[in-house]
Chain A
């Protein structure tokens, strides 16, 4: 009797001590909860807590087993065989089997999905038995397992029951607001743009999980408001910390600054397949089709001034679409076009635009670090060489739709290669846009040589031959100035001092690595 009373008392005491609520704020609310409807870091990063892929990335970005325990290349041809983890269940209790992998492939590679380019070389996915999957590709693809860490598994039965067998980016489907993954956390409440609440999934197969029993995510668009929320203890973590406040958070009592280098390269893209400008004034045709004009823009932008003032010294100027830390970076092409307004004017004159022209510059104002400030500074730098940029800075929820609707002449973009490989941006941003490749090449740049090299790179096993082809594309991109790369964004998070977490280089926030002390 007495013993049971003691145990009961202990139980009561133990319960509140183990309840750890963790509140965090990000600048961008994931615009969908459908893992196949948004190939963007806010969506994929958030959903990595809820859904899982066959493989996942560990704290150092290396690939490790997740829903597949091991994998090997197919003996009889090109492709990979994955052995699935047994005894995994979805949040609704359904078993995870090979059939769900096939379904997730069909769904994620469908024309309606935003993730189709991940499967460009895949020809067939079959299941020899319930816990084995074979993925065939049209050519050997040595980095395939590296490229599918964000391909998340969805239950066929759940999707069919809720009429969500295909993602719907425009109108949304049941899966846009509801989730059913296998991940360490499940979503208990979802109010878009307001708050999202997560609770641990008790049946989760893994054990690498911190002590958070309730996670509450709130998007805070305004960076100063976010800093105030962190300093007042309203939230336990914010990302990103605005560069101008990094020093203050570093020195403040009770909060810590987590600093790293993000893989994200900021750049300007151009409309290249349209015959006229949307915001064109005093000009016939589309000047941005001329590489000379794009080079002029590159010479007109003073990246170093942006780094020193707006980015407060914490940004790394770059000459390529990936940062130097990525695999396949072209060492020989690391020189940026110098800031040289005179040269820019000459190039414009050479292209026949000595009087300049006006055009529409589109920017997000709540997606990247100080995005609107950088765009505004660009407007004045371009004005100094005679180009009249009309700036339209809008929230990111309208930004991608307007880019897809071609309502821009020049635009601001940040790209973080999901595979940590230089081939990634080429596939998404430089390849001629097609159904499942070149899907983020809004400007419609097209070069047959690039299109020929990309599949060859994907199937090349020899490292130096692969690098040679990567260098060739990087050279073409630089010569024709397909994009104007600016700088690598810094990775700055602010946390309360009782929080331990891991900051991954792709800026994905992984809730199960959080420990509240």
Chain B
């Protein structure tokens, strides 16, 4: 019964795409009239642009250890260092790294890992969801039971497990270089279930529609029906989930790095920076923790708000 309801809801969310152009203007209208969405979009684009153009903006290259001077360590924001007399906008950390530059470069890693992990989860989840929904039978049973089993574990635990295994089989001298790819794999693989469940639900509804039956009658192969006909019609909820997943993936990356199993301290992401910073929480060097934490907060919050708006805007019931 409740499954039926979910299907109906999902169906409602995935109204046909024939009015695509009209939708666009609806979306644009909703955006123009939603200050929260506008501010969020502004913050997100600002941060993404800052990350992309980090090498042009950042005054220092924090990933090049040869440029660091340990004597610059623990410089407070906006003050001259007591030994070197150098200024740093947001201060420096224990290694003498400029916090502002490190945040810009760290955000690149956080965003890259976030986007790549969501893409991976999306591809796996949509593919398996389509297969399960369209083919049914034992394929569906196997895929959805695996999804159910994985759902009983917290995603971060699954990610840590994958990370642990990957780290175990990587030779130590490549661990630093591999860390980012392992993070993407770990977060991506822990996050595909969401996509698979939603796509399966939507596919179950779509596959009995007339256009699918028609395609079947003219002898289209199942694969072609899935990709050409069903996929475009289930993409709306996928878009919403992808946006919210992006925020979650960035947080997951930060969590893993904070726990010390993610990005290495020589190439820190925002989470690694927060981990480094919290060691100096009690000794008065608040800026090492504060600025990366605020950046992570701004990034995750605005992506989340954007996702919320997108969900409401794409939901015909709420219009």
What are 26 A-B pairs with beta-carbon distances under 8 A? A222-B279, A224-B280, A244-B279, A244-B283, A245-B282, A248-B283, A278-B172, A305-B70, A305-B71, A309-B70, A373-B95, A377-B70, A377-B95, A379-B65, A380-B65, A380-B70, A380-B95, A383-B65, A384-B65, A390-B176, A391-B265, A392-B172, A392-B175, A392-B176, A393-B264, A407-B172
Interface of A is mostly: helix
Least distance between B5 CB and chain A CB atoms (Å) = 45
Complexed CA–CA distance, A392 and B70 (Å): 20
* Residue B315 CB within 8 A of the other chain: no
Q: With A224-B279, A244-B285, A376-B266 in contact, is A360–B172 under 8 Å at CB? A: yes
Contact A393 B173 (CB under 8 A): no
* Residue A323 CB within 8 A of the other chain: no
Complexed CA–CA distance, A474 and B180 (Å): 44
Contact B70 A224 (CB under 8 A): no
Q: Could you give, for residues 372-396 of chain A, a 1 whenever the CB lies within 8 Å of some chain B CB and a 0 otherwise?
A: 1100110111111000001111000
Least distance between A71 CB and chain B CB atoms (Å) = 47
Please indicate which of the listed interface residues B68, B171, B284 has the most CB atoms of chain A within 10 Å of its own CB.
B68
Cβ of A308: which chain B residues have Cβ within 8 Å of it?
Answer: 71, 83
Cβ of A247: which chain B residues have Cβ within 8 Å of it?
Answer: 283
Contact B282 A373 (CB under 8 A): no
Cβ of A376: which chain B residues have Cβ within 8 Å of it?
Answer: 95, 265-266
Complexed CA–CA distance, A390 and B96 (Å): 19
* Residue B12 CB within 8 A of the other chain: no
Contact B172 A279 (CB under 8 A): yes
Query: Which A residues contact B (CB, under 8 angstroms)?
Result: 222-224, 227-228, 231, 242, 244-245, 247-248, 278-279, 302, 305-306, 308-310, 360, 362, 365, 370, 372-373, 376-377, 379-384, 390-393, 402, 407-408
Interface of B is mostly: loop
* Residue B150 CB within 8 A of the other chain: no
Least distance between B274 CB and chain A CB atoms (Å) = 12
Complexed CA–CA distance, A382 and B74 (Å): 21
- Nearest-neighbor residue (CB-CB) of A243 within chain B: B283
* Residue B308 CB within 8 A of the other chain: no
Please indicate which of the listed interface residues A223, A306, A362, A380 has the most CB atoms of chain B within 10 Å of its own CB.
A380
Contact A302 B173 (CB under 8 A): no
Least distance between B99 CB and chain A CB atoms (Å) = 15
With contacts A376-B265, A391-B264 known, what are 5 further pairs, Cβ within 8 A?
A228-B282, A376-B266, A377-B95, A391-B265, A408-B172
Cβ of A393: which chain B residues have Cβ within 8 Å of it?
Answer: 264-265
Cβ of B171: which chain A residues have Cβ within 8 Å of it?
Answer: 278
Cβ of B73: which chain A residues have Cβ within 8 Å of it?
Answer: 309-310
Cβ of A310: which chain B residues have Cβ within 8 Å of it?
Answer: 70, 73, 94
Contact A224 B281 (CB under 8 A): yes
The 9 closest A-B pairs by CB, nearest first: A279-B173, A380-B65, A309-B73, A383-B66, A244-B283, A383-B65, A380-B68, A305-B70, A360-B173
